[in-house]
Amino acid sequence: EPEVTQTPSHQVTQMGQEVILRCVPISNHLYFYWYRQILGQKVEFLVSFYNNEISEKSEIFDDQFSVERPDGSNFTLKIRSTKLEDSAMYFCASSVNGVSGANVLTFGAGSRLTVL
């Protein structure tokens, strides 16, 4: 069964450093997403991406965050200057459709980011 692949599975970084989390979405999917889950809290929407641009973003997704699809397969989340509160599990997801209630997202296993 096709799956969303995320790397790294765990990254430890110092506060203020830049971090790039990588994702390979399912090949025929057109919509891509990043979600995060801070330990003990809900899974939260960060951003959706379609046709090489952001479709929607949450208030969490401030200027420190950016997303990119640098080639035909990778989808990346960059945090420019990490803060302690960025420590979380970051989930990438993809879907065939976007603007539909029947839009089923397929999630990756997540990248755990620890900011010291």
Partner 1 sequence: DQQVKQNSPSLSVQEGRISILNCDYTNSMFDYFLWYKKYPAEGPTFLISISSIKDKNEDGRFTVFLNKSAKHLSLHIVPSQPGDSAVYFCAATVGGTSYGKLTFGQGTILTVHP
Contact 71, 89 (CB under 8 A): no
Number of H helices, E strands in the chain: 0, 11
Does 108 contact partner 1 by CB under 8 A?
A: yes
Q: What HEC string does 51-88 produce?
A: CCEEEEECCCCCCCEEEECCCCCCEEEEECCCCHHHCE
**Using CB under 8 A as the criterion, what x/- string covers residues 35-74 for binding partner 1?**
x-----xxxxx--x-x----xx-x----------------
**List 31, 61, 65, 75, residue binding partner 1 (CB under 8 A):** 31
Interface residues toward partner 1, by CB under 8 A? 4, 31, 33, 35, 41-45, 48, 50, 55-56, 58, 91, 93, 95, 98-110
